[in-house]
Structure 1
Amino acid sequence: MTATPTGTPPGTHIDGWQVSKELGNGGFARVFLGEKNGNRGAIKVARHREVSGDFKQTHARTLRELTALLMLDHPNIVRPQGHGYTATGNVYLALDYVDGWTLAEWSERKHPTIREILSVFEKIAGALSYMHRRGVLHRDLKLLNVLIRKSDGEPVIIDFSCATYSLAEDLTEGGLPPGTERYRAPEQFQFLREHKDEHRARYAFQVADEIFAVGVMLHELLTDPRPTEFRPRFALNSQQFEPPPPRLANARVPEVLSDLVESLLERNPSRRPVDTEALRREFADLRADPIVDYDVPAHPPSEQHPSEPDTRGPLGAPLPIGPAPLKLHVALLKRPHRPARWLVAVAGVVALVVAAALWGPSAEISVLPPEPRVSASPRPPSAPRSTPPMTAPPAMSPPGPSPVAAPGPAIAAVPKEGSALKNPAPEVLTQGRTSRMPKKFVAAAECASLSLVAALAAGCPGAQIRPESFTCPAGAEQAMRENLHWTDGDKFTLVLDDRHGREDVWFSAGAEVVGIVPKGTGARRQLEVAPVGTRFYGKAYYLSDKMGRADGPALVVRYDRVKLPGQDEQPVCFVVEATAKAFKDGKVKAFNWDGGTVVDRWP
């Protein structure tokens, strides 16, 4: 029987565990289904040995995962059953086997009501609160890393391969800790920009980062009826634009819940809930609210599975469907309240573009910071909601004198990955957090929808999205050099968006795209290091000037991840600049076949 890349062939034994099928694999380990004494377990085997020169230090990370899990004992957190070494010298962990669906699969298969979603997230927040009190941070919360157990519907947080804890050894090579880009808080990218020239700068991951990731998970479940499918999605951690309120994408989402999700995705970490216990109380308050809006499936089942009609509620009653999105937008035009902040951001970008066109590059434009949110109060606040505990939360870093820093990203001279676990302090500690009330939206609702891209396509005038200068994602330089054997300046040819052929295609500015190396690519160097089937993951942008390209407007695609056939995903810096043939309503037309370059930054 053929051995796996970890040296663990299915059908063999590891310390009495009979290994069978593979359950999954990632950058640090592979997971197999195992059985021992009639019990099933998830056997997680580290990919590399310590003597292999593995820059990811997968053995050290696996042992740190074990240490973190041994510090925890909670019904909504996966439990370890044992650990040791395989015959090939690879560290393994035996974990509880959870027979369940990922959060995304659960949403599509079970058509949960909003109240059921709130119940799940209340338990997730409770598990996180328990974890944080013990000094442990997960650092890779996402829909794939929470399973809903089939037997009882309980959520279970899994995959602690990126986790850290107080006094943990620093294993990170780059400025940011390991994690999934889409779920990173925006302050992490701000940190990279501010400290791009400081080799030893390391971002201090905080509880606020976990809260942002929870917000991304909840936003995706409430706005996307089929979250398991790959498609371009709005970047909720975009540096230029704040995410749209969930209610504008899905009219079934109650305003107070939409408002809560917005607070979890706040750009300023001090405006998010003060900690995960406060967040748990937020979810508990909403779940206990008796209004019928919470007993409606978050999405019509017919949108999730077309074969299933959406006619009756959980108890056989007709579903109280909210207003259709288009009607909602029209209604918003008639409401005399201030516009949602993300629409203001769109208007601000339009204004900047117009101003730049009128005054030229020498003009200086001042942009005022966004005003604090103040909303009307249609329902009385509940006393305990979001109120910080009367006593200070347990310290999540080792005791000792340390300076008090302002909330947000921090830099440590010689940091430890688990040494900065303090959540940013709330803006007003003595009064607590202001209770959250439903917000009212206004203004040009025909430009409001799920994403900025859709807003542009709907006719917002003059908006053009161009990428900022950027540095490589964390670990990209080393991954390209040591794993991929790429060098700065290597040129590869690919189909820019694999949903289309070699033809002129309209790319949505700011949207995610997946490129692929197709058959017929003959360059020998490329076939060696980026062969046929290699997939590139990135975003499309539009340049209206000659920046980076001598022949005029350009489509720029920045790819920050790559997956070679049969290998794991790797962080990269790869940029394609293609001639833009047209630009209209937030979309740029270009030929869907071009060459790109390996870079260390752009431009």
Structure 2
Amino acid sequence: MNVISIFPRAGMSVDGWRVIRELGNGGFAVVFLVEKHGRRSALKVARHRDSSGDEKQTHARTLRELAALLLLDHPNIVKHRGYGYSEHGNVYLALEYIDGWTLAEWAERKHPTVREVLQVFDKLCSALSYMHSRGVLHRDLKLSNVLIRKSDGEPIIIDFSCANYSLAEELTDAGLPPGTDRFRAPEQFQWLREHKAEHRAKYAFQVADEIFAIGAMLYELLTDPRPTEIQARFSLNSTVALPPPARALNVRVPEALNDLVASVLSRDPAKRPVDTEALRRELGELLAYSSAEYLTPVHPPSEQRQEEPSEQRVPPVADPSLPGAPTRSVRGWRGLLGGLAALIVLVVAGGFWLSQGEPPQPREPQVASAPPAPSSPHSAPLTSAAPAMSPVSPPPVPSTGLATAAPKEGSTVKTTPSPEVPPQGRQPRGRAKATAVADCATMTLVAALAAGCPGAQMRPESFTCPADAEEVMREDLRWRVNQRFVLTLNARHGPDDDVWFTAGSEVVGVVPKGVPSDQRAVTPPGTRFYGKAYFLSDRMGRSEGPALVIRYDRVKLPGQDERPICFVVESHSEVYEDGRVKSYNSGGGYVVDRWP
């Protein structure tokens, strides 16, 4: 990215604003902390990129952001404080300075209860309902674009650089509006596929897209104890595979909240709340009739505690004798099997399978009930007073295992009775008896294999490539069956490293630099492959034949969206230890129409 303007530095002045330091650096602007007349603000200076080819459009985008903010005045939306031009001609916006944490940082440091998370989203929906009534769409809602103010715990929506409003001039040449792919509604990708040949077609962004983004943000906080980490995650908007229900990944998620999140993330926009005010009313209903389980931290604080860089984080195992108590880490094979048992919850209870045609619809999860809330909650509900925040910690250490608590082998998960007064407008939901699926989900991998539980196999099942993936590979990607590509199998490690792979773990591969020209034409360097690792147990510990199989089912070319594929890598791994295999991190795989 080349910038053709000179930006201010600490101590310099822009239109009377004294620059203190840089706060952030994005694709279209650089943000500085500035001070004028004793008042601190955030100065957002537009930057022009050579790739855009039009400096005037860069300025027009910034002025459109200003116009959107001029239409808004809400306590949970960042406020504007003027605009102007720097001495080098770059347009700038002066904005309210929010001293706070991003929503992801707040979740890790505050260890909020379920109720506190809902209170934050209730206020966000209030702000969005107001925004939409004024004809403004944010179009880039995500965890980093919401700040929790340190002084009073209020959530503030920031960064309107992708925003649009009624009758605004369209500045985007692409079919889809600007935004972040992970939080896009699935109908955007479906539209893109259907209109790929129409170069001037534009997707009409709707309130339903905004509601999906809110649901994706809520799902992230409920299922991921470390949302600030860069790691492979389930796709929330894939048209090929549904993400597991929130409760399948975290048994602390109340059943009624799990159902609401599933409806907000529905593939069918008509099944989502009709607008953000309707979503706010549903959240308010949960808050009004919430039970003790809503006062439990969403994740055990011990799972969110920052560790020393030298420590290797292992899957936590819950002590069933202490319901609702923090989990404790264990090392060795027991920790590994606990993580793999948590994986079984994803596969069995979450319904995470590939579709052979139309995407499957979410089903009511058959999982164990949440543990009872502790008698003394870890943190009090969010109020107007400043929240008690955890001390600032070192940067997070990437997790090597799933952070879902798994009961000890042979233990029984206790259930919490339903609230005496069910939410109005919802049918009372009884607690289902533990089924075979739930029993399998609580077992360790060894016990699950012995019991013949579905989804517990380390060997990948035979499959025929789905028709939509075949069409994408043939028509869009121009791939052919048996075509070979070279990959770095796990993008988190170097291509020359020896890497340990765990059965069932998510794997993100990447095409390295220096690949042959014929591969570079269809999978250029930087192309990412998303899949899962499996073992061929009969070949473990032997030098002949592959022991590791990675099935990649999605691909993302640079600058493009994820697409379904069928691509398999078989690696000749010689080392086997504690349920893992070690493999050289560079390898070749093949486009397949079936396996084996």
Amino acid paired to 1:221: L
Q: Is the 8 A contact 1:561 1:571 kept in 2?
A: yes
* Structure 2 counterparts to residues 24-35 of structure 1, below 5 A: 24-35=24-35
Whole-Å separation in 1 of the counterparts to 2:170 and 2:137: 14
Aligned CA distance change for structure 1 residues 523 and 82 (closer, same or farther; 3 Å): farther
Where 1:299 maps in the other structure, the secondary structure is: coil
Q: Is the 8 A contact 2:502 2:533 kept in 1?
A: no
Whole-Å separation in 2 of the counterparts to 1:288 and 1:522: 58
TM-score by length of 2: 0.65
Aligned CA distance change for structure 1 residues 321 and 76 (closer, same or farther; 3 Å): same
Amino acid paired to 1:9: P
Task: Find the counterpart in structure 2 of residue 7 from structure 1.
Answer: 6
Whole-Å separation in 2 of the counterparts to 1:148 and 1:465: 47
Task: Find the counterpart in structure 2 of residue 486 from structure 1.
Answer: none
* Structure 2 counterparts to residues 203-602 of structure 1, below 5 A: 203-305=203-305, 321=324, 346=352, 370=361, 382-383=423-424, 444-445=437-438, 458-459=456-457, 462=461, 468=469, 497-499=491-493, 501-503=496-498, 506=501, 511=506, 513=508, 515=510, 538-540=529-531, 560=556, 579-581=569-571, 592-593=585-586
Amino acid paired to 1:498: R
Q: Is the 8 A contact 1:242 1:341 kept in 2?
A: no
Whole-Å separation in 2 of the counterparts to 1:129 and 1:83: 26
Where 2:35 maps in the other structure, the secondary structure is: strand
Whole-Å separation in 1 of the counterparts to 2:279 and 2:129: 9
Aligned CA distance change for structure 1 residues 319 and 299 (closer, same or farther; 3 Å): farther
Structure 1, unaligned runs of 5 or more: 309-317, 334-338, 353-365, 386-433, 450-454, 478-490, 544-552, 563-569, 597-603
Q: Is the 8 A contact 1:79 1:95 kept in 2?
A: yes
Where 1:101 maps in the other structure, the secondary structure is: strand
Where 1:87 maps in the other structure, the secondary structure is: coil
Amino acid paired to 1:10: R
What are the superposed Cα offsets for residues 191-213 of structure 1, whole Å, 9 maximum, x if unpaired?
11222222222211111111111
Where 2:278 maps in the other structure, the secondary structure is: helix
Whole-Å separation in 2 of the counterparts to 1:373 and 1:278: 22
Whole-Å separation in 1 of the counterparts to 2:134 and 2:274: 17
Aligned CA distance change for structure 1 residues 348 and 595 (closer, same or farther; 3 Å): closer
Whole-Å separation in 2 of the counterparts to 1:374 and 1:506: 29
Where 2:198 maps in the other structure, the secondary structure is: coil
Whole-Å separation in 1 of the counterparts to 2:245 and 2:562: 31
Q: Is the 8 A contact 2:499 2:585 kept in 1?
A: yes
Aligned CA distance change for structure 1 residues 216 and 84 (closer, same or farther; 3 Å): same
What are the superposed Cα offsets for residues 511-546 of structure 1, whole Å, 9 maximum, x if unpaired?
46264858xx6999x9xxx99xx9665524799xxx
**Cα distance, 1:382 vs structure 2:** 4.2
Amino acid paired to 1:255: E
**Cα distance, 1:499 vs structure 2:** 2.7
Whole-Å separation in 2 of the counterparts to 1:294 and 1:184: 28
Task: Find the counterpart in structure 1 of residue 415 from structure 2.
Answer: none
Q: Is the 8 A contact 1:111 1:297 kept in 2?
A: yes
Where 1:93 maps in the other structure, the secondary structure is: strand
Whole-Å separation in 2 of the counterparts to 1:23 and 1:470: 45
Q: Is the 8 A contact 2:262 2:362 kept in 1?
A: no
Whole-Å separation in 2 of the counterparts to 1:245 and 1:576: 25
What are the superposed Cα offsets for residues 484-529 of structure 1, whole Å, 9 maximum, x if unpaired?
xxxxxxx9986752335444764988946264858xx6999x9xxx
Whole-Å separation in 1 of the counterparts to 2:151 and 2:193: 46
Amino acid paired to 2:457: G
**Cα distance, 1:54 vs structure 2:** 3.6
Whole-Å separation in 2 of the counterparts to 1:509 and 1:180: 27
What are the superposed Cα offsets for residues 247-283 of structure 1, whole Å, 9 maximum, x if unpaired?
2211211111111111111111111111101111111
Q: Which has the higher contact order (CA 8 A, sep 6+)?
A: 1
**Cα distance, 1:4 vs structure 2:** 7.6
Aligned CA distance change for structure 1 residues 572 and 135 (closer, same or farther; 3 Å): closer
Whole-Å separation in 2 of the counterparts to 1:303 and 1:368: 33
Task: Find the counterpart in structure 2 of residue 190 from structure 1.
Answer: 190
**Cα distance, 1:58 vs structure 2:** 2.6
Between 256-265 and 40-49, the greater mean CA deviation after superposition: 40-49
Where 2:83 maps in the other structure, the secondary structure is: strand
Whole-Å separation in 2 of the counterparts to 1:368 and 1:447: 25
Q: Is the 8 A contact 1:495 1:517 kept in 2?
A: no
Q: Is the 8 A contact 2:19 2:32 kept in 1?
A: yes
Task: Find the counterpart in structure 1 of residue 371 from structure 2.
Answer: none
Task: Find the counterpart in structure 2 of residue 549 from structure 1.
Answer: none
Whole-Å separation in 2 of the counterparts to 1:217 and 1:231: 16
Q: Is the 8 A contact 1:30 1:44 kept in 2?
A: yes
Amino acid paired to 1:43: L
Whole-Å separation in 2 of the counterparts to 1:228 and 1:541: 22
Where 1:580 maps in the other structure, the secondary structure is: strand
Q: Is the 8 A contact 1:233 1:512 kept in 2?
A: no
Task: Find the counterpart in structure 1 of residue 318 from structure 2.
Answer: none
Amino acid paired to 1:164: N
What are the superposed Cα offsets for residues 388-429 of structure 1, whole Å, 9 maximum, x if unpaired?
xxxxxxxxxxxxxxxxxxxxxxxxxxxxxxxxxxxxxxxxxx
Amino acid paired to 2:117: I
Task: Find the counterpart in structure 1 of residue 105 from structure 2.
Answer: 105
Whole-Å separation in 1 of the counterparts to 2:242 and 2:30: 36
Aligned CA distance change for structure 1 residues 576 and 45 (closer, same or farther; 3 Å): farther
Between 204-213 and 456-465, the greater mean CA deviation after superposition: 456-465
Whole-Å separation in 1 of the counterparts to 2:359 and 2:161: 41
Aligned CA distance change for structure 1 residues 233 and 200 (closer, same or farther; 3 Å): same
Q: Is the 8 A contact 2:28 2:49 kept in 1?
A: no
Number of residue equivalences: 472
Q: Is the 8 A contact 2:81 2:94 kept in 1?
A: yes
Aligned CA distance change for structure 1 residues 538 and 287 (closer, same or farther; 3 Å): farther
Between 232-241 and 285-294, the greater mean CA deviation after superposition: 285-294
Matched, 1:123 2:123: yes
Where 1:43 maps in the other structure, the secondary structure is: strand
**Cα distance, 1:448 vs structure 2:** 6.0
Task: Find the counterpart in structure 2 of residue 418 from structure 1.
Answer: none
Where 2:277 maps in the other structure, the secondary structure is: helix
Between 151-160 and 298-307, the greater mean CA deviation after superposition: 298-307
Where 1:213 maps in the other structure, the secondary structure is: helix
Between 340-349 and 132-141, the greater mean CA deviation after superposition: 340-349
TM-score by length of 1: 0.65
What are the superposed Cα offsets for residues 187-237 of structure 1, whole Å, 9 maximum, x if unpaired?
111111222222222211111111111111111111111111112111111
Task: Find the counterpart in structure 1 of residue 65 from structure 2.
Answer: 65
Whole-Å separation in 1 of the counterparts to 2:80 and 2:112: 30
Whole-Å separation in 1 of the counterparts to 2:91 and 2:359: 53
Whole-Å separation in 1 of the counterparts to 2:512 and 2:226: 27
What are the superposed Cα offsets for residues 161-202 of structure 1, whole Å, 9 maximum, x if unpaired?
111111111122222111111111111111112222222222
Structure 2, unaligned runs of 5 or more: 309-320, 328-336, 367-417, 443-452, 478-484, 535-548, 574-579, 590-596
Q: Is the 8 A contact 1:243 1:342 kept in 2?
A: no
What are the superposed Cα offsets for residues 111-159 of structure 1, whole Å, 9 maximum, x if unpaired?
1111111110100111111111111111111110100000000000011
Task: Find the counterpart in structure 1 of residue 541 from structure 2.
Answer: none
Amino acid paired to 1:580: E
Whole-Å separation in 1 of the counterparts to 2:470 and 2:156: 39
Identical counterparts, % of pairs: 51
Aligned CA distance change for structure 1 residues 220 and 63 (closer, same or farther; 3 Å): same
Aligned CA distance change for structure 1 residues 457 and 289 (closer, same or farther; 3 Å): same
Whole-Å separation in 1 of the counterparts to 2:163 and 2:462: 40
Q: Is the 8 A contact 2:289 2:422 kept in 1?
A: no
